[in-house]
Amino acid sequence: MAHSFFPDSIRIWNSLPQPLVDSTSLDAFKQGINKEKSKNKNASRYFQPQEEVYNINDKTLKKFKSAHWRKKQDGKTRKKNDEWAVKRLRKVDKFPGDAPVSKEKIKKYKRGSDMEATHARTNFHQSVFEQKEKKLQLAAKQAARSELLLQENSGFIEAESDEETTYISQHDIVKAVDINSASKYFELTLKDFGPYKIHYTRNGRFLLMGGAKGHVAAIDWQTKKLLCEMNVMETVQDVKWLHQETMFAVAQKQWTYIYDNQGIELHCLKALDCVLNLEFLPYHFLLASSNRKGYLSWLDVSIGQKVAGHSTGMGRLDIMCQNPYNATICLGHSGGTVTMWSPNVKEPLIKMLCHGGGVRSVTVDKKGRYMCTSGIDRTMKIWDLRTYKMLQSYKIGMGASHLAFSQKNTLAVSKGNIVEI
């Protein structure tokens, strides 16, 4: 790297050989730097219009300060040139190096303990082990550094050390979140016709509610617009949206009815009687139902005909859910067993003994890999549906009446008037 030092500046030129400039450009250059050309005539031979300026380090700066031509300057000029050089070329980084990462975060992403290279047979193998260990440490550090970009932890509540999330109300959450999130909050006070069962459409925009005392309502919760509201004047067991938000099914005391989004009755399905639970299979256009007589039915909503029906022989079917992955129906029974059914087979596909007592709730995650069950024995168990083996078993204070997996693979457990995640 060839250096050309001027009295009032520092310029670092490209060291590659460059062609000489013509007289026209040289004269223009001389006119622009009259003070510099008189003291360094030979420097103009290597001048190039596109100059490269680099950050100068301590070694180069020290070399600059000890240049021979600086001895001819007075102290005031020398000090002025030094300040200009440092300000112009030596840009000091206020935060040098990489951003610090806490050791706790790095420990979170480490895979096992550190490798000990002292037991290697040769120096070569020891160096290989050391290089691998450096790569593992770098990977853990980069993973901890990029943790800020991960989004799967969004939406959780972090309480203080002396605070419990049970005492944090919905109003407190609304006050703490941003304006866009707070605008999605709404509250419905329904005291007269409960308890209620609710169901959202697949896109999550429309909400359907059915009270045990006959109150049925459908709303667009984003615009808070009421689509329809009525009282069917008899017990409502369950409600479900069909393939779109223009129709929904209501399991009433005796029969199952189909209504449109204006509350007009479209069909009365007498083939589905005494129904306790409903499940709609969106990819098959099948409406599955279980009744208090132990009978499981599937009805094709596109033609309005019953396609299959099986008698389970296991008594009242209070607990039912579907596997979103393969559209099988899972039933929970009073004997502690869980059965899985398909309309093509009259016998259960799988029969599992999950609890010592009756089953209170069953749910399957979105990918169809895990199933969670709760029983009257106050236990909650996680099952792997690929191997049909139990993964975890929890002893909870009271039996969970309802279970539900979220889209982020978190599990909601309802225990009385408390919901735990």
Q: What digits encode the pLDDT tens for the residues 295-309?
A: 999 999 998 899 999
CA 301 from chain center: how many Å? 35
The pLDDT confidence band at residue 134, using thresholds 50, 70 and 90, is confident
Q: What percent of the chain has pLDDT over 70?
A: 76
The pLDDT confidence band at residue 275, using thresholds 50, 70 and 90, is very high
pTM of the model: 0.62
pLDDT average, residue stretch 321-329:
92
- Residue 20 is predicted with a pLDDT of 44
H or E element, residue 133: helix 123-145
Q: Assign 45 to helix, strand or coil.
A: helix
- Residue 32 is predicted with a pLDDT of 53
In terms of phi and psi (left: phi > 0; alpha: psi -120 to 50; beta: otherwise), the region of 233 is: left
**Crossing angle of helices 58-65 and 75-89, rounded to 10°:** 160
247-252 and 236-241 beta bridge pairing: antiparallel
Q: Assign 405 to helix, strand or coil.
A: strand
In the chain, what are the domains? 3-89 (no CATH), 185-317 (2.130.10.10), 319-421 (2.130.10.10)
Q: Say if residues 239 and 208 touch (Cβ distance below 8 Å).
A: yes
Q: What digits encode the pLDDT tens for the residues 367-419?
A: 899 999 999 988 999 999 999 999 999 888 777 888 999 887 889 888 877 88
